[in-house]
Amino acid sequence: MTIRQPVLNSMKKAGINMEIIQRLSERTDTVTVENRFGGGSCDTHPLLSYLIDWVYQTSNAYEMGVQDVKISDFDRIKYFVLEQDSNAYMTCLD
């Protein structure tokens, strides 16, 4: 999976481990992701599954007052998921 440089930059600024991103981007299998509120599930690329989980964790942190990630970086990463797999985005993040 190819990741545009602005998205990579946002991932770095957000503190995401780039070695994990590299390894996951090279995989060709699929994994099942589930909506954290019980709103369904779908299969997607392992990198997108990782990023969906990251969005959930970051959103939870924001709700608890921890705002270490800029909203612009958060949104760029979230919308990268949308660009790559609209079904996974709509199932888990919308």
pLDDT digits (tens, 9 = 90+) for 37-57: 888 999 999 999 999 999 999
Q: Is the pTM of this model over 0.85?
A: yes
Average pLDDT, the chain: 96
CB-based contact 39:19 (threshold 8 Å): no
Q: Which pLDDT score, from 0 to 100, does residue 38 have? A: 85
Beta bridge partners of 38: none
H or E, element range at 87 = helix 86-92
